[in-house]
Amino acid sequence: MKSALITGITGQDGSYLAEFLLEKGYEVHGIKRRASLFNTQRVDHIYQDPHEPNPKLKLHYGDLTDTSNLTRIISEVQPDEVYNLGAQSHVAVSFEAPEYTADVDGIGTLRLLEAIRFLGLEKKTRFYQASTSELFGLVQETPQKETTPFYPRSPYAAAKLYAYWITVNYRESYGMYACNGILFNHESPRRGETFVTRKITRGLANIALGLEDCLYMGNIDSLRDWGHAKDYVRMQWMMLQQDVAEDFVIGTGKQYSVREFIDWTAKELSIELDFSGEGTEETATVKSVDNNVAPAVKPGDVIMRIDPRYFRPAEVDTLLGDPTRAKEKLGWVPEITAQEMCTEMVAEDLKTAKRYALLKEHGLDLPVSLENG
């Protein structure tokens, strides 16, 4: 039986990857951070009681900033594969916490690679690094592929640039099977609530049911290549099953604006929107609505405004992936379109909003914050 260690197992990708590897018969180990509240919601459904004989999923307390902890866990687990998905992964937050982001996302990667080498596992343990399309930043060619020059535009991207190159360096210096998946944005109903797609699906579902009034957005002209996290974790595993370690760009080859994603989401909720105004004055007003689906909304309601607080000091305006190499060499193609993903996300967020609306109707407290992210 193969064993895998996943950093970031409590995150979006980590949870899908853990499910995927368990189905493949792996023993899966994950690193979770100590938090003052439970933070394992995304993996609770696959959690196995450690008192049961031979649990296939084991969680270890740890942190990417803690070298001795990482070295001890790797020494205990002796993993065949390490997936480094742990990160301070929010681009806007990285401007607020640049040093911490560099430590976790950049040096954290070095700590893992060095632990593998120090423990003499460099010929046994294969290493996957969660690299990102944010490396392309201020894009130098369109679409972006493996040979496109990098131009990071945030502390997050600069930290991930270090992680990218140190992964290449350990491959070249020590003959490690170490590779980078340069992944474009991928989303799902498990996406963190402050990333743009989930902020939109959750926010508009809440507005449809009267739990919120208005969605406040940043730069809605921004263009992204959005895929589904399920398709992308399959690819992470495939990258570690080759004869030779190589880096791959993973995207869908299609791009849409944030404004289009807002429009799709509204349509899923049977709301027709009218976008008007420019720049920070732009708004989205309800043109028509089916009140069976969105009972709290009426024509004329302004349900989206721009709030400059969500603008970033430097923006990545456009990203579009060219996944040709992944298709030709690995036979990988994305199976879920961005629109299908949006449909799934809205359905899930609407379900949750209905539960909260019911609680509110009965004068009960809402179990989660409705903070707009």
Instruction: Look up residue 15 and give its amino acid.
Output: S
5 forms part of the interface with ligand NDP (CB under 6 A): no
Using CB under 6 A, which of 43, 57, 64, 211 touches ligand NDP? 64
Bridge pairing between strands 302-306 and 283-289: antiparallel
Cα→Cα distances 182→155, 299, 366, Å: 17, 43, 38
CA distance 71 to 51: 25
Q: Which window, 65-73, 84-92, 144-152, 266-274, contacts ligand GDR (CB under 6 A)?
A: 84-92
**For ligand NDP, the closer CB: 278 or 371:** 371
Tokens representing residue 6 in the block = 């996943």
Binding mask 285-324 for ligand GDR (x = CB under 6 A): -------------------------x-x--xx--------
C-beta separation of 299 from 288 below 8 A: yes
Is 134 a known active-site residue? Answer: yes
Using CB under 6 A, which of 111, 199, 202, 228 touches ligand GDR? 199
Class of residue 4 by CB neighbours under 10 A (exposed 0-12, middle 13-18, buried 19+): buried
194 forms part of the interface with ligand GDR (CB under 6 A): yes
Q: Smallest distance from the beta carbon of 64 to ligand NDP, in angstroms?
A: 4
101 forms part of the interface with ligand GDR (CB under 6 A): no
Tokens representing residue 126 in the block = 């294969």
Map tokens 């994603």 to a residue.
261
Binding mask 103-122 for ligand NDP (x = CB under 6 A): -x------------------
255 forms part of the interface with ligand NDP (CB under 6 A): no
Choose among ligand NDP, ligand GDR, none what residue 12 binds, the Cβ cut-off being 5 to 8 Å by kind: ligand NDP
167 forms part of the interface with ligand NDP (CB under 6 A): no
Q: What are the contacts of 274-279 at 24+ separation with CB within 8 A?
A: 279/306
Tokens representing residue 78 in the block = 């002796």
Q: Which window, 58-66, 117-125, 209-217, 285-293, contacts ligand NDP (CB under 6 A)?
A: 58-66
143 Cα distance to chain centroid: 21
CA distance 254 to 321: 8
C-beta separation of 81 from 176 below 8 A: no
C-beta separation of 206 from 166 below 8 A: no
Tokens representing residue 51 in the block = 């008192």
Q: Which window, 36-44, 191-199, 203-211, 267-275, contacts ligand GDR (CB under 6 A)?
A: 191-199
12 forms part of the interface with ligand NDP (CB under 6 A): yes
Query: By CB under 6 A, how many residues form the interface with ligand GDR?
Result: 23
CA distance 338 to 344: 10
Is 174 a known active-site residue? Answer: no
Using CB under 6 A, which of 6, 74, 179, 258 touches ligand GDR? 258
Class of residue 328 by CB neighbours under 10 A (exposed 0-12, middle 13-18, buried 19+): exposed
In the set 27, 81, 134, 268, the catalytic residue is: 134
Q: Smallest distance from the beta carbon of 285 to ligand NDP, in angstroms?
A: 30
**For ligand NDP, the closer CB: 136 or 177:** 136
What is the radius of gyration, based on Cα positions, of the chain? 21
Is 100 a known active-site residue? Answer: no
In the set 7, 101, 109, 132, the catalytic residue is: 132
217 forms part of the interface with ligand GDR (CB under 6 A): yes
Q: In sequence order, which residues have a C-beta less than 8 Å from that of residue 72 and are 6 or more positions away?
A: none
Cis peptide before 334 (omega within 30 of 0): no
19 forms part of the interface with ligand NDP (CB under 6 A): no
Judged by the rule CB under 6 A, the positions of this chain that interact with ligand GDR are 89, 91-92, 132-134, 184-185, 194-196, 199, 217-220, 222, 224, 258, 310, 312, 315-316
Judged by the rule CB under 6 A, the positions of this chain that interact with ligand NDP are 7-8, 10-14, 31, 33, 35, 39, 63-65, 85-89, 104, 130, 132, 183, 185-186, 192
